[in-house]
Structure 1
Amino acid sequence: MPDHQLRTRMPGAPAPHPRDTGTGPRAAAALRAAAPALAVYAAVRALGFLGLWVAAQASGKDPLARLTGRWDSVWYQRIAENGYGYTVTLPDGALHSDLAFFPLLPALERGISEVTPLTLGGAGLLVAWTAGLLAAWGIFAVGAELYGRRTGVVLAALWGVYPTAFVQSMAYTETLFTALAAWALYAVLKGRWLVAGALCVLAGLTRPSAAALIAALAITAAVTLVREIRAGHGLGPVLRRNARMIAGVALAPLGWLAYVVFVAVREGSPFAYFDVQAQWGNSIDGGRALAAFIAGLPLPAALGLCAALGLLGWLVVLCVRQRQPLPLLVYGIAIVVISLIGAGYFGSRPRLMMPAFPLLLPPAAALVRLRSRGRTAAVIAVLACASAAYGAWTLLGAGPP
């Protein structure tokens, strides 16, 4: 029997209680176990930054300004400096309000800049880079829990060489959200539902796509309860036994709901947040905008995009065939669906899907099966170079936001 089948248990089942050796020693041991994953992740992201630096120097541009002074990072820094209330009116009359951006990152930027010499942009980079390491650690922890430490290391590395991984080096929310999501999912796998719920609250203050994480917790809990009730256990005992799970699920959406309610109260409309998103072109249209975008492309580009979407669908199928735990499946698929059914700018969609790290578990497992660390390292090195080149080209050009 594979070792991951021996180590895992149904989400919701109580965690074992090994002899307590203290939080400090346990954390140190966990960090030592994750050290190879963190080293590889740091190396591939350093390569990406080096590629940007060299290309920027050759073109006479400031690489740090490309990481802190463009696109969404500017909106976050404006919120950190002045609070909410800034709106841009576009030539077509559409309004872009800063209420579209969730508050955790600007709050961290402001707090760090007030107690350190860092500017708001520097604070944003500190948050993003620190969160990137925490995300890689959480991704490693999930992969190692399910399929062994080597798979966890490769999984973290693959996340670091994702095509739009250059965003992980920017003052954006992707690394912060992914860190919270990865550790929340790991907590669910370990049966620590209150921890998972608390992390989900923070994720809900970071990005609207926290809805995928909330759904993962809720659906997993519902399936667990139904399964136990159908097994013949009484409703009362089932609810008492799973009280922590129910409390974690109830806690999970509070961050997301709090911000939606804040916008509703501020704007005087219960649907104000969704109106703000619609003004940005981020309304849900079921994929019509994506279909129209593909139809408007030249035939070779359209075929290439369809092939990429087909590959994405195949990864989802592989995740199902891999029998990933339910919370990972729901989370990964929900992130993909949320990213594809909106009417927003197409260039942002690969970035929006980047937190769906469970999609990388099948290729990570395939690389581990090569049984040659040299071949695995060579594949990751090639991907890292390609990711670095694409990141430099994107950041120094017009590029997708």
Structure 2
Amino acid sequence: MGAAVLAVTAWAREGHPVALLARSWDSRWYLGIAAHGYVRTQHVRPGVIRSDLAFFPLYPGLVHSLAALTPLSGGGAGLVVSWTAAAAAACGIYAIGTHLYGRAVATTLVLLWALLPHSVVLTMAYTEPVLTAFAAWSLYAVLTGRWVWAGTLAALAGLSRPNGFAVAAAVLATAAYEIWRGRGRVSHRLWTGAALAPLGWGAYVLWVGRHEGDLLHGYFRVQSLWGSTFDLGDGSLRSIKHQLLHGGPFAFAMTMVIVATGVLLYALLVADRPPLPLLVYSGILLLIALGGSGFFESKPRFLLPAFPLLLPPARALVRTARARPWHATVVVAALAGLSFAYGAYVVVYAHTPL
């Protein structure tokens, strides 16, 4: 249904929905890397230099491989990778929900994740589906004691996006707790998983640093030249102040609402006392979204992989569905309407980066 709404909206604006999904904003950078490697630098203005080295390699590598093995174009391969990853992510989220609270909560958790206002990104040539897929299955592996799998999948998550290190942090924090609780008497598999977890993210950061001539700081300099730094929320507060005093695009207002809702959901998650890896993973993703500067309107996209934030409302919705089915139906219908309409708006009408 969401795809149909987007398609009708795109055609009404004389656009092609597949082209919009495959080649919007950062998608063009990823497809460029898939086709030509890391070769592109864009001089926007003095002090702002956008290099494709800011983009992690796993997604464009998958797109390049699929395009080479099939008749698909780069854009088509990008969409297939994203759609496949979104399906894998949904399965991983369902597995976690079932493990913790049963099938009803698991199904509702996946449904709420798919109906987030920015969930249209899950159908685009972007990296969020890939990160969420590896994150979900890595966290499931941690919860079920499969440490080598947890570390391997965390390493792959770290190769997919800059905030992918949140998965490694969750694995390492849980491993440290298990080592402390067992007074060091733990399986060698735990040590192996913990050692593997940060390798993907660390390897790419160091590779870019070596390429830039500054091993430890080179990658972060590339990001800062994009205008993306971690300033403890100063840039976000300035964006919010400007929005409140002078107004701005509708997408900015929605960003404020979505991020504020994310903070509230994290507080509810903490109150629910979830397993440690889910708490650490979601907390780091939220911290990055709140504390990072640059591209304020992209913050809802950065929170898309933070699916554990939806555990409290998923449990509440299941309870509501059992007591008052009609109320739950109205809530889901309202969320679907918002998701479909806003997704079509940000892809077709909004002129702000996703």
Same fold, TM-score > 0.5, yes or no: yes
Residue 296 in structure 1 maps to residue 296 in structure 2: no
Whole-Å Cα distance in 1 between the matches of residues 6 and 203 of structure 2? 38
Residue 341 in structure 1 maps to residue 291 in structure 2: yes
**Distance apart, 1:305 and its partner CA:** 7.0
Post-superposition CA distance 1:220-258 (Å, at most 9, x none):
1111221222xxxxx4xx1xx332111101100111111
1:345-360 map, 5 Å: 345-360=295-310
Q: Gaps spanning 5+ residues in structure 2: where? A: none
Whole-Å Cα distance in 1 between the matches of residues 212 and 100 of structure 2? 45
Residue 170 in structure 1 maps to residue 124 in structure 2: yes
Residue 76 in structure 1 maps to residue 30 in structure 2: yes
Whole-Å Cα distance in 2 between the matches of residues 203 and 303 of structure 1? 30
1:2-401 map, 5 Å: 47-229=1-183, 235=184, 238=185, 241-270=186-215, 271-299=217-245, 309-370=259-320, 371=322, 372-373=324-325, 375-397=327-349, 398-401=351-354
State whether residues 255 and 297 of structure 2, in contact with CA within 8 Å, keep that contact through their aligned partners in structure 1: no
Whole-Å Cα distance in 1 between the matches of residues 257 and 155 of structure 2? 36
Moved more, 306-315 or 175-184: 306-315
**Distance apart, 1:203 and its partner CA:** 0.7
CA pair 153-296 structure 1, distance change in 2 beyond 3 A: same
Post-superposition CA distance 1:185-205 (Å, at most 9, x none):
000000001001010111111
CA pair 134-242 structure 1, distance change in 2 beyond 3 A: same
Q: Secondary structure at the match of 1:320?
A: helix
State whether residues 48 and 227 of structure 2, in contact with CA within 8 Å, keep that contact through their aligned partners in structure 1: no
Whole-Å Cα distance in 2 between the matches of residues 382 and 354 of structure 1? 19
State whether residues 168 and 197 of structure 2, in contact with CA within 8 Å, keep that contact through their aligned partners in structure 1: yes
Could you tell me which amino acid in structure 2 is paired with residue 357 of structure 1? F
Moved more, 289-298 or 325-334: 289-298
Whole-Å Cα distance in 1 between the matches of residues 204 and 32 of structure 2? 18
Partner of 1:11: none
Whole-Å Cα distance in 1 between the matches of residues 91 and 232 of structure 2? 34
Could you tell me which amino acid in structure 1 is paired with residue 239 of structure 2? F
Q: Secondary structure at the match of 1:355?
A: coil
State whether residues 85 and 130 of structure 2, in contact with CA within 8 Å, keep that contact through their aligned partners in structure 1: yes
**Distance apart, 1:154 and its partner CA:** 0.5
CA pair 315-265 structure 1, distance change in 2 beyond 3 A: same
CA pair 310-204 structure 1, distance change in 2 beyond 3 A: closer
Whole-Å Cα distance in 2 between the matches of residues 308 and 169 of structure 1? 19
Whole-Å Cα distance in 2 between the matches of residues 311 and 206 of structure 1? 26
**Distance apart, 1:299 and its partner CA:** 4.8
Whole-Å Cα distance in 2 between the matches of residues 304 and 400 of structure 1? 13
CA pair 281-171 structure 1, distance change in 2 beyond 3 A: same
RMSD: 1.8
**Distance apart, 1:130 and its partner CA:** 0.7
State whether residues 170 and 278 of structure 2, in contact with CA within 8 Å, keep that contact through their aligned partners in structure 1: yes
**Distance apart, 1:147 and its partner CA:** 0.7
Q: Secondary structure at the match of 2:139?
A: helix
State whether residues 58 and 156 of structure 2, in contact with CA within 8 Å, keep that contact through their aligned partners in structure 1: yes
Between structure 1 and structure 2, the one with the greater Rg is: 1
Post-superposition CA distance 1:20-67 (Å, at most 9, x none):
xxxxxxxxxxxxxxxxxxxxxxxxxxx211111011122211111111
TM-score normalized with structure 1 length: 0.83
Q: Secondary structure at the match of 1:180?
A: helix
Q: Secondary structure at the match of 2:268?
A: helix
Q: Gaps spanning 5+ residues in structure 1: where? A: 1-46, 230-234
**Distance apart, 1:323 and its partner CA:** 1.4
**Distance apart, 1:385 and its partner CA:** 1.8
Post-superposition CA distance 1:321-358 (Å, at most 9, x none):
11110000000111000111111210000100110000
State whether residues 216 and 331 of structure 1, in contact with CA within 8 Å, keep that contact through their aligned partners in structure 2: yes
State whether residues 294 and 305 of structure 1, in contact with CA within 8 Å, keep that contact through their aligned partners in structure 2: no
- Percentage of identical aligned residues: 46
Whole-Å Cα distance in 2 between the matches of residues 118 and 305 of structure 1? 34
Q: Secondary structure at the match of 1:57?
A: helix
Q: Secondary structure at the match of 1:96?
A: strand
**Distance apart, 1:313 and its partner CA:** 2.4
